[in-house]
Structure 1
Amino acid sequence: MKSTVENLNPTRVKLTVEVPFDELKPHFDRAYRALAGQVNIPGFRRGKVPAKILDARLGRGTILTEVVNEAVPAKYTEAIGEANLLVLGQPDIEVTRIDDGDALAFTAEVDIRPEITLPDVEAIAVTVDDVEVTEADIDEQVEALRDRFATTTPAERAAADGDLVSIDLTAEVGGETLDEAATEGLSYRVGAGDLVDGIDEAIIGLSAGESKTFSTTLVAGPYAGQEAAVTVTVQSVQDRTLPEVDDDFAQLASEFDTVEELRADLAEKIRRVKNREQGVAARDKVLEALLEATEVPAPEGIVNAEFESRAHDAVHAFDHNEDALNAHLEREGQTREEFDAELRESAVQAVRTQLLLDALAEANQVGVDQNEFTERVLFNAQRLGISPDEYFQRLQEGNQLAAIFAEVRRGKALAGVVEKATVTNASGEVLDVAELFGLEKVAEEDEAIELADEAADLAQDEVESQLITEAVEEELIEEIAEEIAEELVVEEIAEEIAEVEAELADEQDTPKA
């Protein structure tokens, strides 16, 4: 086989491949065996029809088509291996010549991973905002606790802002009742603003048994973007009483005996949350600085695939109703053209980010061991609210094991860069990145693994392109599959994940500043 490579641009090549017919003999043998088992020819047993008889009965063109369909992908793979190309996406293949008995020739255009010259990561310096916990921050959390422990009593009056009401809802579009929008006995706090636009104004002033109809624009479902007539009926009104902030309240709402102790604990939790936010800001800025300092060409074909994926997700939120999406954008003061331009820019950045992180991982020989892979599977499964077995099965069925492997690898690569970069706050203090993420001072390897989990979130959120990753080590994947299938996932990891989830749940009680 002879093959040549032509560089069309920094991210795309054209392979020209010529295969002598003597190299196609194994493909001809398989084609004849397959076809012999599919046809019935008098005088011959199925599967035992000679090649010459098949040529005569089926036609030489049928045989050649079978051979070409099998040989071209195999020879393409062989050609990119000989050329040491890191291909991305599927190739555009064109068969240019079939000279029976002589040679088969074809061309293949495909996107490739570009050569990337990495900057000196230790020279990267970024600045993040200072962390400051104010009395107002603490007061906000105290008020959230008061709201959680509020008591309610029936009120024989019209509903007012802050009341807890039980309501029934119905909706109509163009005179047609929407069954899926009907609900009864829904508990709602007036002023929460988390149902539909206009409902708070409609409820205020209604007493038990009274109704009001108002117009609103639906934002989801098959009628997204259309005006609906919504009728709300108040079934009951309850007055909410917030507890006084005293030591009794501190004992009710926490494990502390005094308000001072409660406020001190809230201050520490707020600081931890803000430290993590500061760490995330540092991570994002380091990545931004990396992208600015590095030339990373984005393959057009991969960008197009990423753009189409994001566009599909956008319209999917509106039940695949393009008109509803356009109406929503119009209400937001944006044209579809502007939206698509932003979407394409985000697709370009996502592809550049993935290519850059992959290059960093290779340059620093970043690996992923079985425990790290399993830990990420467990983390993702818990975040989705499904069992690790079910999640792993989904990954297998969707051929997504390599994507998870790459996700962890990129996260570790970015974490390594963040640790080497210089991060200062607005006051000029150099920050310890590990402390920003709340990591204890343990072995450096353990710190890197934990920080990688934080960084992997960015790799997952920012990088969704459909690039073909390098082949994942089969033995590693098989070992992990067997371990999870046999429910031998290490219990210690599961317990650690549960502890982290519980800690994060506590911190999520503290709204971000």
Structure 2
Amino acid sequence: MPSTVEQLSPSRAKITVEVPFAELKPHLDKAYKEIAQQVQIPGFRPGHIPAAIIDQRFGPGVALEQALNEALPGLYSSAVDEHGLVPLTQPEIEVTKLEVGESVEFTAEVDVRPDFMIPAFDGIEVEVDAVESTEDELEEQVKILRERFATNTEVDRAAKEGDLVTFDLKATKDDELVEGGEAEGVTYRVGAGGMVEGMDEALTGMKAGETKSFTSTLVGGPAAGQEADIEVTVTKVQEQELPEVDDDFAQMVSEFDTADEMYDDLRENLARMHRVDQANTARDKVLEAVIGQIDMELPENLLASEISARNNQVDQELAQAGMTLKQYLADSDETEESEEEFRANLAQRSAEAVKAQLVLDRIAEDQDLQIEQTDLTEHLFARARANRTSPEQEMQHMLEHDHTNEWMTEIRRAKALALIVQSATVKDTEGNVIDLKNLQADGTYAEPAEAEGDTDVAEESADEAPAKKAAAKKAPAKKAAEKDADDTEVRVDDQAADEAKSVEADAE
């Protein structure tokens, strides 16, 4: 089967394949057989209609078209393998010559991975902030625990900052109720923020049974961004009494006997969180350093698809939040001054993401990185942690929604990124070299096997090791602070395709 390749650009190729008609005969025979089973012609039993009769009744091109549709994908794949191409998009196939009984010629244009040089990983050096936990952070964690176990007592007095107030709300415009602008039994801690502007000022000083009105701009729902008259009626005021931080408190909220032990554990939790943040920053910077040294032309169609997908996701999340992009930019910390600038920056991040994926795929291929059962297990555990599900549920989701190839690609990219990070030099701002090889998902470090033959320890999964260490040590039973640490858990080698920071999460 002769085939040639014309390189239309560094990232697009045109394959021309000529197929002897004899190679199509098995597919043609199969097509005639299937058509014979599907149609009814007087005088012939189903499945026993001669090919000549089918051609006579339906035209000679029907069976040939069906045979070509079945044969071309395999012929295309063979040509791709023959020329060592890496297709990145679906091909645009066109039959350019058809001589019945002689030959068939078709062309396939497709985006392909461009050729590029991979820099030496051991020559990459990046700097990250040093790990540092402050006492303010520690006290914030303790405050979370105290508020979780606080006592709320209903009081007959005016509300003040820190009180828990229950109220009914009604938003109107021109004396007409705004769509979605009515709610009952809303509970809010005065001074916590997150409500419409002016809410804290309105609630402060109000007693149960009192009503107050003010004007503000709605921040959510179908009428988000519109100015409306807000009427609030307080139904209950509760005073919060925080428990004292002593040994009794430590025993109530954790498995520790003393407040000092609880503080030590919370302090270590913070350190683990910062180690994870530091490792993720190092990962991103190392990948940025690698792709920054690589010059390539990105496949046009692949990039356009990525940009479109990211824009659509942002639009969907904004719609779910009841916001426009203009409102989001006005209310968020984004630095873009206009919607056009936001979209341009999103396109730039999409380009960086596509480039990183191509580089990681190439590294995984060059290093012949294989996916083991433990890799899939770790990936399922990581997804379960992120989605607050079980590994079994994630496995079922993968099979039901045909995510197997997609997730395997993620795992290979993650392993490729881990290989780069382990080879690079990472230092903190104090000049200390940071070893990320043994960092686990929870910010602890894996312990090496005690002996060369100790395969049980050496092969222990990344999810089992931290669990065994945690079982050997007391940890807060209520896990308020530890939950915050879990929310930030990301393996150094997880989610490698997300190297270009996205705005989708911010838009939620």
TMscore range, shorter length: 0.7 to 0.9
Q: Distance in 1 between matches of 2:364 and 2:94?
A: 34
Once the 2 structures are TM-superposed, how far is the Cα of residue 402 of structure 1 from its aligned partner? 1.1
Q: Distance in 1 between matches of 2:384 and 2:258?
A: 39
The alignment's C-alpha RMSD in Å is 3.4
Once the 2 structures are TM-superposed, how far is the Cα of residue 233 of structure 1 from its aligned partner? 2.7
Structure 1 equivalent of residue 498 of structure 2: none
Q: Provide closer, same or farther for how the CA distance between residues 326 and 69 of structure 1 changes in structure 2, counting only shifts above 3 A.
A: farther
Structure 2 equivalent of residue 6 of structure 1: 6
Structure 1 residue ranges without an equivalent (≥5): 454-491
Once the 2 structures are TM-superposed, how far is the Cα of residue 224 of structure 1 from its aligned partner? 4.9
2:211 alignment partner AA: S
Does the residue aligned with 1:130 lie in a helix, a strand or coil?
A: coil
Q: Distance in 2 between matches of 1:142 and 1:156?
A: 29
Structure 1 equivalent of residue 446 of structure 2: 440
Instruction: Pick from 471, 482, 492 the counterpart of residue 507 of structure 1.
Output: 482
Q: Distance in 2 between matches of 1:249 and 1:415?
A: 42
Q: Provide closer, same or farther for how the CA distance between residues 110 and 154 of structure 1 changes in structure 2, counting only shifts above 3 A.
A: same
Q: Provide closer, same or farther for how the CA distance between residues 447 and 342 of structure 1 changes in structure 2, counting only shifts above 3 A.
A: farther
2:350 alignment partner AA: A
Q: Distance in 1 between matches of 2:187 and 2:252?
A: 24
Structure 2 equivalent of residue 68 of structure 1: 68
Structure 2 equivalent of residue 273 of structure 1: 273
Q: Can you list the C-alpha shifts for 1:138-187, whole angstroms capped at 9, x where unaligned?
A: 333333333333322222122222111122334557835545x6543233
Matched length: 471
**Residues 221 and 322 of structure 2 are in contact (CA less than 8 Å); yes or no, is this contact kept in structure 1?**
no
Q: Distance in 1 between matches of 2:238 and 2:98?
A: 82
Does the residue aligned with 1:169 lie in a helix, a strand or coil?
A: strand
Q: Can you list the C-alpha shifts for 1:362-410, whole angstroms capped at 9, x where unaligned?
A: 2222211113213322432353244444433332233210111121222
Structure 1 equivalent of residue 309 of structure 2: 309
Instruction: Pick from 351, 367, 373 the counterpart of residue 364 of structure 1.
Output: 367
Q: Can you list the C-alpha shifts for 1:38-85, whole angstroms capped at 9, x where unaligned?
A: 222111112211111111111123333323322332322222122221
Structure 1 equivalent of residue 398 of structure 2: 395
Q: Distance in 1 between matches of 2:35 and 2:72?
A: 19
1:238 alignment partner AA: Q
2:106 alignment partner AA: F
State the TM-score, normalizing by the size of structure 2.
0.82
Structure 1 equivalent of residue 57 of structure 2: 57
Matched, 1:347 2:350: yes
Matched, 1:334 2:358: no
Does the residue aligned with 1:233 lie in a helix, a strand or coil?
A: strand
**Residues 250 and 259 of structure 2 are in contact (CA less than 8 Å); yes or no, is this contact kept in structure 1?**
yes
Identity of aligned residues (%): 44
Does the residue aligned with 2:91 lie in a helix, a strand or coil?
A: strand
2:72 alignment partner AA: V
Q: Provide closer, same or farther for how the CA distance between residues 106 and 323 of structure 1 changes in structure 2, counting only shifts above 3 A.
A: farther
Q: Can you list the C-alpha shifts for 1:296-355, whole angstroms capped at 9, x where unaligned?
A: 442221111111111111111133899833443456563221121111111111111111
**Residues 266 and 481 of structure 2 are in contact (CA less than 8 Å); yes or no, is this contact kept in structure 1?**
no
Does the residue aligned with 2:15 lie in a helix, a strand or coil?
A: strand
Structure 2 equivalent of residue 118 of structure 1: 118
Structure 1 equivalent of residue 504 of structure 2: none
**Residues 159 and 206 of structure 2 are in contact (CA less than 8 Å); yes or no, is this contact kept in structure 1?**
yes
Q: Distance in 1 between matches of 2:470 and 2:44?
A: 66
2:347 alignment partner AA: R
Once the 2 structures are TM-superposed, how far is the Cα of residue 113 of structure 1 from its aligned partner? 1.8
Instruction: Pick from 402, 420, 431 the counterpart of residue 434 of structure 2.
Output: 431
**Residues 412 and 449 of structure 1 are in contact (CA less than 8 Å); yes or no, is this contact kept in structure 2?**
no
1:442 alignment partner AA: P
Q: Can you list the C-alpha shifts for 1:404-440, whole angstroms capped at 9, x where unaligned?
A: 1121222122122212221112121222224654213
**Residues 170 and 177 of structure 2 are in contact (CA less than 8 Å); yes or no, is this contact kept in structure 1?**
no
1:154 alignment partner AA: E
**Residues 122 and 420 of structure 1 are in contact (CA less than 8 Å); yes or no, is this contact kept in structure 2?**
yes
Once the 2 structures are TM-superposed, how far is the Cα of residue 263 of structure 1 from its aligned partner? 3.5
Structure 2 equivalent of residue 155 of structure 1: 155
Matched, 1:324 2:324: yes
Q: Provide closer, same or farther for how the CA distance between residues 249 and 71 of structure 1 changes in structure 2, counting only shifts above 3 A.
A: closer
Q: Distance in 1 between matches of 2:423 and 2:243?
A: 49
Q: Provide closer, same or farther for how the CA distance between residues 384 and 85 of structure 1 changes in structure 2, counting only shifts above 3 A.
A: same
Does the residue aligned with 1:18 lie in a helix, a strand or coil?
A: strand
Q: Provide closer, same or farther for how the CA distance between residues 92 and 493 of structure 1 changes in structure 2, counting only shifts above 3 A.
A: farther
Q: Distance in 2 between matches of 1:266 and 1:377?
A: 28
Q: Distance in 1 between matches of 2:298 and 2:158?
A: 60
Structure 2 residue ranges without an equivalent (≥5): 489-508
Does the residue aligned with 1:88 lie in a helix, a strand or coil?
A: coil
Residue pairs, 1:75-474, within 5 angstroms: 75-171=75-171, 175=176, 178=179, 182-214=182-214, 217=217, 222-227=222-227, 230-256=230-256, 258-319=258-319, 324-329=324-329, 334-434=337-437, 437-443=443-449
Structure 1 equivalent of residue 32 of structure 2: 32
Q: Distance in 2 between matches of 1:322 and 1:131?
A: 38
Q: Provide closer, same or farther for how the CA distance between residues 391 and 25 of structure 1 changes in structure 2, counting only shifts above 3 A.
A: same
**Residues 220 and 318 of structure 1 are in contact (CA less than 8 Å); yes or no, is this contact kept in structure 2?**
no
